[in-house]
């Protein structure tokens, strides 16, 4: 099974790296940058795991549920 986990800061959490990247984009000539949020993407290849167990691992290990949201996408 292959899965992709996307972890992003919750909307209410300040993302200083995203703010800095957005300002740099404007400085480099990209006009109209409204928002930049920086997160992480994790690819997992595993045999025999079920989706419920993967959600537990995403919640307990791969994300910080206090300040981050995650999305689990099963590819195959």
Residue 48: which CATH number? 3.30.1280.10
**Structural domain boundaries, residue 49:** 2-74
User: How confident is residue 76, by pLDDT bands cut at 50, 70 and 90?
Assistant: confident
Q: Which two tokens stand for residue 30?
A: 């990209």
pLDDT in tens, 29-43: 999 999 999 999 999
As for how many domains the chain has, the answer is 1
**What is 21-38 written as a DSSP string?**
HHHHHHHTT-TT------
Q: What is the pLDDT of residue 63?
A: 98
pTM beyond 0.85: yes
Give the Cα separation of 56 and 41 in Å (integer): 17
């Amino acid at each position: 099974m292959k899965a992709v986990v996307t972890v992003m800061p919750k909307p209410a959490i300040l993302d200083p790296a995203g703010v800095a990247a957005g300002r740099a984009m404007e400085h480099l000539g990209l006009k109209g940058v409204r928002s930049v949020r920086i997160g992480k993407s994790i690819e997992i290849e595993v045999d025999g795991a079920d989706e419920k167990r993967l959600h537990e691992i995403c919640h307990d290990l791969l994300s910080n549920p206090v300040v981050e949201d995650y999305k689990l996408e099963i590819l195959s």
